[in-house]
Structure 1
Amino acid sequence: MARGIARAASFGGRATAGWFSYRRVTVAVCIANLVAALLVLRSFTSLPPAPTRVEVVQYTEEQIKRVEESIRIRREAEPVELVQAVKKLRKVFAREEKRRKELPLELKQKVAYDIVGRLHDLGDNSSSIQQREALESWRVETLKHTKSASIQNSSNLGLSNEEARMLKRTLEFNWHALLEDIGLWIPVEVPHTEHDDKPQNEPEEEEIIAGPPLDPQCNAELHADYGGAAVKWGLTHHKGSAADCCQACLDQAKNAKPGEMKCNIWVYCPSEFGCYSPDKYEHKHQECWLKQDDRPKLNFKDKYTESYRDSHPRAPVVVSWMSGVTSA
């Protein structure tokens, strides 16, 4: 009997020791800590937010009066009329710039060709005043036709209704800008006397033209800038040499389709520093303009006059362009 009781006590002790093992005690303590941490975190989140402290600055009546006086003086000194005028000018310039961009390149070329034809009718001996009068007469006549929305009235230049609408706005608001865009400039006639101070028997300095020799048909002229209707827009048409530019003109005339303008004038910029022109563009080295004109006429030759450079400060002394009228 005593042995049975001892054995039972020994078995019970081992069972209790197995139930309260270190692993189970550790797990129980961790769970209790986690529950306690969750309860503490919940108590923090349930607390109302701490009130924000706002510092209120107290100004005296004298200080308030000074601030109001300062604001009043600043408003009175503000150039309201000038600001409004500048805003209006910006809107006008934005509209004009938009109108200029609306006119497509093909339409500009059509206008240039028609204007050159009108100037040809005046003859080679026409004065700049007569040329300006002819241009204004063309503008008024064209504007009269383009004001009508019918295709019949706008067909004098071969224009569609949309092209006639754009051209009408340009002739009304951007006439001079259009002349600049197509590269047309009529010089002011200023009487001047040329002085030849060169010593007698002084040898001429022969200029060297970079690149291969030019074809005799090119009739190259140094320091010369010919006008004419643009067949190939030089801003996007560059050639490696004057010979290549002239050859491009000869090839275009040879391969032109019926009804297309045939190049008979080439204008090339041989200067690494670019070439001057009175339009709005920056003309760079190796620009090659292909033009057409039944009666070729020089815009500039050799040097810009002193009177011209007085009115155009950006103009250099010597004409940088070189040109030629083909004999093909």
Structure 2
Amino acid sequence: MARGVKWGCSYKRSTLIVCSINIVVALYVLRSLYASLYLYSNSDFNKVVKYTPDQVRKMEESIRIRRAKEPLELVKIVKELKEEFNRGEMVAGLPKEVTGRITDEILQRLRSLNANANISEQRDAIESWRKEKLQEVKQLVHGTGGLNSSILKQEAGMLERALESDWAVLSENIGLWVPAEIIHQEHNDKPEGEEDPEEEVLPGRPLSPECHAELHTDYGGVAVRWGLTHHKESAADCCQACLDQAKYAKPGEKKCNIWVYCPSETGCYSPDIYQHKNQECWLKHAEKPKLNFKDKYSDSFRDSHPNAPLIVPWVSGVVSA
């Protein structure tokens, strides 16, 4: 009986001792693993962030060289083009949709005239439309307009300013570049067979006869000088640039025989992705010069290009290369 009691006490004590040892060993192992992980992470961190002054200088020099090689001007131009396309053009403070409606209304008024209507009658029709539209806009601004008006109230203020103080800018942007007309003519001493002089006056010095200038004309051809980055003070200077390029062209190089110039202060329309500005001078070459556009844009063209103005804004000439 005494031996049995002694054996039971010894078994329990042994079990407790073994369990205690296992717990101590497990805690020691966990502590060792945590400490090693902490030291390893700290050592890696120190290896990553610690650089010598010479290494830092070399990295800064590398970044500077890489930035210097970036086409910053090209990126800037592309960004500006994207912003322009995203927000849409503003003509005399008006959105494209509004100017498009104005152009359509003026075009409809001009179509209602006789086929033989002269410039004075066209001007009277346009001025009559402007006065009617301005009266309608003012009524809306002052709250006396009718419910049948097609103009939104938030557009009325902008339209009033555009039709009144900014009418010259607006009319030129939508293509109303109407040539001047001689109203008073006491006598006509022009010899028989002599052509009438040009009624429009281009800015700058006069063009020489060899330029063969044609108003409201756009010729096609292969560009030998890109007009977006080639500006001249006048159409005469643009023509002279074409003559000089043909004169000093290298063997095998295409010679300029067509010049195309934008005389409009608000830019010139063209059915491409670029925004053509005043004084652009395009030098072109073509074996057989062919017209792109002449005088007015056709109705079919305006139907497919609603932003096109009524009249071709470019001036061009074909010279002998």
Please, what TM-score do these two structures have when normalized by structure 1? 0.39
Higher Cα Rg, which structure: 1
Please, what TM-score do these two structures have when normalized by structure 2? 0.40
